[in-house]
Amino acid sequence: MTEVQLIEACKRQDSYAQRLLYDRYIDKLYVLCIRYVTDKADAEELLSNAFLKCFRHIGGFSYAGEGSLRAWLSRILVNECLMFLRRKKLLTIPADGLPEMPEQQDAETALGRLQTREILQYIQELPAGYRTVFNLYVFEDMSHKEIAALLQISESTSKTQLFKARALLKQKIQEQAAF
């Protein structure tokens, strides 16, 4: 079934099409969700909520070409994750100092040896505020202005959070290089 056919069938509330849509996107969306929310049970609940919203609002979705459905689903899920983090008060800005910056060459050498799952684990270990800004900036390709508006923080706070997130990731990569 093409993406257009799938969308049209979901608009008619066809349960088979809804299942196909779910099966087609669940793995990619789970990886997206787990970047924001580290607890697997919370991630599964957020995924369920996102798919429910998708099926409830798909009538208003306008197909804009290949990939637009996935982008729309991703936006719904990211919004669900951000609402969850706000509700749980996990989007606080840590007041701790900056970690020491590792040598660039050591970090790049270690980065080449890391597996994707190890990098994802390091991202998950970041404090929620750092992790959220990092994900929005790096993976969702948002500007600091957009992040600031979305999270209701200043642009300078967004920049600081990204800087601290990168510093912590580099530190973890450098520690990996020591092994």
Structure tokens at 24: 């087609």
Q: What percent of the chain has pLDDT over 70?
A: 84
Tell me the average pLDDT across 140-146: 93
Domain 3-87 fold: Rna Polymerase Sigma Factor; Chain: A (1.10.1740)
User: Are the C-beta atoms of residues 176 and 114 closer than 8 Å to each other?
Assistant: yes
Q: Which of 51, 39, 36 is nearest to 86 (CA)?
A: 36
Angle between helices 128-138 and 155-177 (to 10 degrees): 100
Higher pLDDT, 97 or 148: 148
pLDDT digits 0-9 by tens, 37-70: 989 999 999 999 999 999 999 999 999 998 899 9
Higher pLDDT, 91 or 8: 8
Beta strands in the chain (DSSP E): none
Q: Which of 155, 168, 80 is nearest to 124 (CA)?
A: 168
The distance of Cα 25 from the centroid of its chain, to the nearest Å, equals 15
Q: Give the C-alpha separation, 30 to 145, whole Å.
A: 27
Q: Residue ranges per domain, the chain?
A: 3-87, 104-177
Tell me the average pLDDT across 23-49: 94
User: Are the C-beta atoms of residues 79 and 150 closer than 8 Å to each other?
Assistant: no
pLDDT digits 0-9 by tens, 87-130: 887 665 544 444 444 444 444 444 455 567 788 888 889 998 99
The pLDDT, as a whole number, for residue 90 is 65
The pLDDT, as a whole number, for residue 177 is 66
**pLDDT band, residue 86 (cuts 50/70/90):** confident
The pLDDT, as a whole number, for residue 110 is 44
Positive or negative, the Cα torsion across 28, 80, 121, 150?
positive
The CATH class given to the 104-177 domain equals: mainly alpha
User: Are the C-beta atoms of residues 120 and 85 closer than 8 Å to each other?
Assistant: no
Q: Give the C-alpha separation, 125 to 147, whole Å.
A: 21
